[in-house]
Amino acid sequence: GSLTWCENGTRGLPPRSGIQWLCGGALVTNRHIVTAGHCVIISATITLSVARLGELNLDDNVPDGASPVDLQIDRTIPHPDYRSSAKVNDIAIVKLKSAVTFSDHIQPICLPSSSQLLANLFVGQSHYVAGWGALFFRGPSTKTLQQVDVDVTDEDFCKNAYRNQRGAVIDSRVLCAGKSGKDACQGDSGGPLMLDQGATYYLVGVVSYGKNCAEPGYPGVYTRVTAFVDWITRNLD
């Protein structure tokens, strides 16, 4: 599949609840996944425990040609300035207990670390967002990995859209993207916003929040990865 770096993180819930797949992420090395801060800081009773890599369909009874791998999580590293009460610095790194073996279905995505990409605002460029989230607002999550193309909007448009939304901070640490009925939705949190540069994909955004899903006039808000590349690379030990 073309989106084989999309990882489906699991949070271990209290014993009676079992486990539940709730967030996405993007594999950036053989032991590190970039996701959203709000995906790793939940509550004292919810612990991130397993990451599934190389998945396409979460229903094990459906033959999809994928050979997913479940790996235990060693630790999570939320950005030190992330606070659940504010919608900024919403990024985290998940470190796996063991290294994954790359394959046709499991490959890392590139970080946008070149000077050209670091200076790129990506406005007007088409990107892809992917995940196993809901297909519509408050709808059920999908079992099959979905992908949509979205366009990055300029900062002023996004600021105006979210000017009355409590806690929304639109600045250089985020980027906004959407396209006529296309958006990330509940369950896509932490997943990648990807820039296609021929044979290479770059992780330019992390799904953070939005106004419902694909709400007209409200693009989705993503953590801008170029603003955090230095922090990410410092924590890839």
Q: Which is the catalytic residue, given 32, 127, 189, 208? A: 189
pLDDT of residue 182: 52
Q: Which is the catalytic residue, given 32, 90, 127, 208? A: 90
Of the options 3.30.420.40, 1.10.760.10, 2.60.40.3710, 2.40.10.10, the CATH number for the domain spanning 115-226: 2.40.10.10
Mean pLDDT of the 37-64 span:
74
pLDDT of residue 11: 39
- Range scoring the smallest mean pLDDT among 84-88, 94-98, 184-188, 228-232: 184-188
Q: What are the pLDDT digits (tens) for 67-83?
A: 778 899 999 999 999 98
Q: What are the pLDDT digits (tens) for 170-185?
A: 999 999 998 755 545 5
Mean pLDDT of the 25-46 span:
88
Q: How many CB atoms lie within 10 A of CB 2?
A: 12
Structural domain boundaries in the chain: 6-108, 115-226
**Residue % of the chain over a pLDDT of 90:** 45
pLDDT of residue 47: 75
Residues 19/22/27/29 CA torsion (nearest 10 deg): -50
pLDDT of residue 84: 80
Specify the DSSP class assigned to residue 22.
E
pLDDT of residue 221: 93
Q: Which residues contact 103 (CB under 8 A, 6 or more apart)?
A: 54, 67
Q: Which residues contact 7 (CB under 8 A, 6 or more apart)?
A: 24, 25, 26, 27, 33, 35, 51, 52, 53, 55
Tokens standing for residue 217: 């006039």
Closest of 117, 107, 150, 151 to residue 2, by C-alpha? 107
Q: Is the confidence at residue 135, as pLDDT, over 60?
A: no
Domain 6-108 coded CATH 2.40.10.10: yes
**Rounded Cα distance, 105 and 222, in Å:** 25
Q: Is the confidence at residue 2, as pLDDT, over 60?
A: no
Q: Is 90 a catalytic residue?
A: yes
Q: Are 47 and 11 in contact (CB under 8 A)?
A: yes
Give the model's confidence band at 224: pLDDT under 50 very low, under 70 low, under 90 confident, else very high.
very high
Q: Which is the catalytic residue, given 38, 79, 105, 127? A: 38
Domains 6-108 and 115-226 share a fold: yes
pLDDT of residue 1: 26
Q: Is the confidence at residue 208, as pLDDT, over 50?
A: yes
Mean pLDDT of the 130-145 span:
59
**Rounded Cα distance, 183 and 149, in Å:** 8
Q: Tell me how far apart the terminal alpha carbons of the chain are, to the nearest angstrom.
A: 28
Q: Are 122 and 204 in contact (CB under 8 A)?
A: yes
Angstrom distances, CA of residue 230 to CA of 30, 64, 221, 226: 19, 37, 21, 8
pLDDT of residue 19: 63
Mean pLDDT of the 70-98 span:
92
pLDDT of residue 54: 77
pLDDT of residue 92: 96
Q: Is 189 a catalytic residue?
A: yes
Q: Is 60 a catalytic residue?
A: no
Is pLDDT larger for residue 84 or for residue 113? 113
Q: What are the pLDDT digits (tens) for 9-26?
A: 443 333 444 566 778 899
pLDDT of residue 131: 67
Q: How many CB atoms lie within 10 A of CB 136?
A: 13
Mean pLDDT of the 46-52 span:
81
Specify the DSSP class assigned to residue 227.
G
